[in-house]
Structure 1
Amino acid sequence: MSDFEHRSVETEARRTAPGRPWTPQEEPRQDALRRYLGAVAAAASRRSTGEEPAPASGTGSTEPPVTAAPEPPVRGSAVLHVRDVMRVPAASVPGDMPFLEVARTLAREQVGAVPVVDADDHVIGVVSESDLLAKAAVMAEPHRHGSVGRLWQHRLYEKGQGDTAATLMTFPPVTVHPAARVSDAAWTAAHARLKRLPVTDHRGRLVGVVSRRDLLRALIRDDAEIRAEAESLVGRHLPVPHTVEVSVENGTVTLTGRADRTPVPELLAAVRDIDVVADVVDAVEAI
């Protein structure tokens, strides 16, 4: 991550810091927040340099679903992908589902929004509590007087005329692919201010859902986890791995020791690719 990105992350973390002294529980929370923001900043940096394509755009929001939580991600790979943390199956509604049935579905699933799908399970939009509230507001009071009332009606009138999921939904939807990086999905969710993202295959068909809670749990990793993953990479890249030691402090990985320098640049690149690694210090001397 660049110095500018580090400063941006630190500034954001300070902005969220309380004015009173931190409790013993507050400092770890702030450290976790800095790491999460760092991962999002790294994903944004990759986008700006054109390393990875940006996802489709749209809007929507929800709370985490009540389906079983995904298994803890396997840490053998340096890069976590959406498929490692997404939840399946994902609740959805057909476009022709009536307004009241959509409301009942949200209540039953205990979520704030669900994807709307067509007959072939393609995601065509997202219908949320906000969309339903617009309908309910117009139903409760179809006419309001005065300039404020006219503005209110102008914004809600079209939305309030819908009677089905397809006519009430917000579109186009924001979706992510199962092969997308977790850090990129976090960037997408943060940029669009979404709590939940539908996961679609290359044909736009719904295959799962990933929530901000899932992304946070995957991205916020302690130094011990990062060290274990970095040591695994050392074992894979160096012919004599025991001559190089790994230490991690606040997400910064330091490699020390002596080794053949030939595979070291590739090793350093692999370690930098670990999600939420803040920096990598190369202190490996050539044999």
Structure 2
Amino acid sequence: MSDFGHSSAEKEARRTTPGRPWTPQEEPRQDALRRYLAAVASTASARSTEESEPAAGKERAEPSATAAHAPSAQVPVVLHVRDVMQVPAVSVPGDMPFLDVAHTLAREQLSAVPVVDGDDHVIGVVSESDLLAKAAVMVEPHRHGPVGRLRQHRLYEKSHGDTASTLMTFPPITVHPAERVADAAWTAAHARLKRLPVTDHRGRLVGVVSRRDLLRAMIRDDAEIRAQVESLVGQHLLDPRAVEVTVEKGVVTVAGRLDKALVPELLASVRDVDDVVDVIDETETD
């Protein structure tokens, strides 16, 4: 992971850090958020690199058969939205009354829900924020202050609606089942959305993917990271038992007695493993 990715993740995490002391559950959550944001930053960086490469007159070389089938080749598993999305997806029709939409969100414990037409095409998304604005208008129909009214004119006008289609936010931001999880995560982060409707090529609802689904797919736990690092150790050393590998919150510690010439290459390989935050070298060299 690049220094840019780490820096971007740390800055974003600091902005979300609460002023009060963290609970025991908060530190792991913040750590996961930092790793998630770093993964999104890495995806954005990779996109920029791909887009900056000159395409005119140059074709990308195909990998040779020998390289493709080499035993040491590590082919990363690319997850797609269809692998992590929730099916079936909860939705509401455009003519559903305001109170019924509120009851649906409460019953399903959702923060937002897609709004569909008669053919299941996603036409918008209605969220808790939309319903909260509607409730505020019901309590106080006439808002005070012309500046505030002008600044949030669209929200104010929309809140006078009584059905899902008049309260919803549109056009909806959606993703396709074949889209990569990393790209969907970038879309969710950029749009600051907790849930994304998943639609087919005709715009019909086929599922929903949440930010939590994307987070779990992108960030492996320490046990999975350790298993891959131990596999790498086995490729570099004749006796893998000479090295002890521990992983805590994505930080890999490598300990043991090794040939001095092998250490730099081994540590470099470990740093390239996905979701490794840092590598601590506690090896002793001969």
Deviation at 1:92, TM superposition (A): 0.4
Deviation at 1:116, TM superposition (A): 0.7
Give CA deviations for 1:72-120 in whole Å, capped at 9, x if unaligned. Answer: xxxx962222222211111001122222322222222221211011222
Deviation at 1:42, TM superposition (A): 1.3
Task: Measure, in 1, the Cα distance between the counterparts of 2:133 and 2:37.
Answer: 33
For 1:6-155, list aligned pairs within 5 A: 6-13=6-13, 28-50=28-50, 78-147=77-146, 150-151=149-150, 154-155=153-154
Give CA deviations for 1:209-232 in whole Å, capped at 9, x if unaligned. Answer: 111222222223234303435777
Whether the aligned pair in 2 keeps the contact of 1:43 and 1:184 (CA below 8 Å) is: yes
For 1:217-256, list aligned pairs within 5 A: 217-229=216-228, 251=250
Structure 1 residues 19 and 96: alpha-carbon distance in aligned structure 2, compared to 1, 3 A threshold: closer
> Which runs of 5 or more structure 1 residues have no equivalent in the other structure?
52-75, 235-239, 258-267, 281-287
Please give the secondary structure, in 1, of the residue aligned with 2:77.
coil
Q: What residue identity is the alignment partner of 1:179?
A: A
> In angstroms, what is the RMSD of aligned CA positions?
4.2
Whether the aligned pair in 2 keeps the contact of 1:116 and 1:166 (CA below 8 Å) is: yes
Deviation at 1:143, TM superposition (A): 2.4
Whether the aligned pair in 2 keeps the contact of 1:92 and 1:114 (CA below 8 Å) is: yes
Q: What residue identity is the alignment partner of 1:193?
A: R
Please give the secondary structure, in 1, of the residue aligned with 2:223.
helix
Count of aligned positions = 243
Deviation at 1:154, TM superposition (A): 3.5
Task: Measure, in 1, the Cα distance between the counterparts of 2:24 and 2:140.
Answer: 50
Whether the aligned pair in 1 keeps the contact of 2:5 and 2:39 (CA below 8 Å) is: no
Q: What residue identity is the alignment partner of 1:216?
A: L
Q: What residue identity is the alignment partner of 1:120?
A: D
Give CA deviations for 1:239-262 in whole Å, capped at 9, x if unaligned. Answer: x898696968665889xx9xxxxx
Please give the secondary structure, in 2, of the residue aligned with 1:184.
helix
Task: Measure, in 1, the Cα distance between the counterparts of 2:46 and 2:192.
Answer: 20
Please give the secondary structure, in 2, of the residue aligned with 1:209.
strand
Q: What residue identity is the alignment partner of 1:209?
A: V
Whether the aligned pair in 2 keeps the contact of 1:138 and 1:156 (CA below 8 Å) is: no
Deviation at 1:170, TM superposition (A): 0.3
1:200 and 2:199 are equivalent in the alignment: yes
Counting aligned pairs with the same residue, the percent is: 78
Structure 1 residues 203 and 2: alpha-carbon distance in aligned structure 2, compared to 1, 3 A threshold: same
For 1:146-165, list aligned pairs within 5 A: 146-147=145-146, 150-151=149-150, 154-165=153-164
Task: Measure, in 1, the Cα distance between the counterparts of 2:23 and 2:129.
Answer: 36
User: Which residue number corresponds to residue 3 of structure 1?
Assistant: 3
Structure 1 residues 157 and 40: alpha-carbon distance in aligned structure 2, compared to 1, 3 A threshold: closer
Task: Measure, in 1, the Cα distance between the counterparts of 2:239 and 2:157.
Answer: 65
Task: Measure, in 1, the Cα distance between the counterparts of 2:5 and 2:126.
Answer: 35
Deviation at 1:146, TM superposition (A): 4.8
Normalising by structure 1, report the TM-score: 0.65
Whether the aligned pair in 2 keeps the contact of 1:143 and 1:153 (CA below 8 Å) is: no
Please give the secondary structure, in 2, of the residue aligned with 1:162.
coil
Whether the aligned pair in 2 keeps the contact of 1:38 and 1:278 (CA below 8 Å) is: no
Normalising by structure 2, report the TM-score: 0.65
Deviation at 1:37, TM superposition (A): 1.9
Whether the aligned pair in 1 keeps the contact of 2:229 and 2:273 (CA below 8 Å) is: no
Deviation at 1:169, TM superposition (A): 0.8
Shifted more, 195-204 versus 29-38: the winner is 29-38
User: Which residue number corresponds to residue 72 of structure 1?
Assistant: none
Whether the aligned pair in 1 keeps the contact of 2:78 and 2:180 (CA below 8 Å) is: yes
Higher-Rg member (1/2): 2
Q: What residue identity is the alignment partner of 2:127?
A: S
Whether the aligned pair in 2 keeps the contact of 1:195 and 1:211 (CA below 8 Å) is: yes
Whether the aligned pair in 2 keeps the contact of 1:79 and 1:273 (CA below 8 Å) is: no
Structure 1 residues 134 and 11: alpha-carbon distance in aligned structure 2, compared to 1, 3 A threshold: closer
> Which runs of 5 or more structure 2 residues have no equivalent in the other structure?
52-74, 259-268, 280-286
Q: What residue identity is the alignment partner of 1:39?
A: A
Task: Measure, in 2, the Cα distance between the counterparts of 1:248 and 1:201.
Answer: 43
Task: Measure, in 1, the Cα distance between the counterparts of 2:36 and 2:239.
Answer: 28
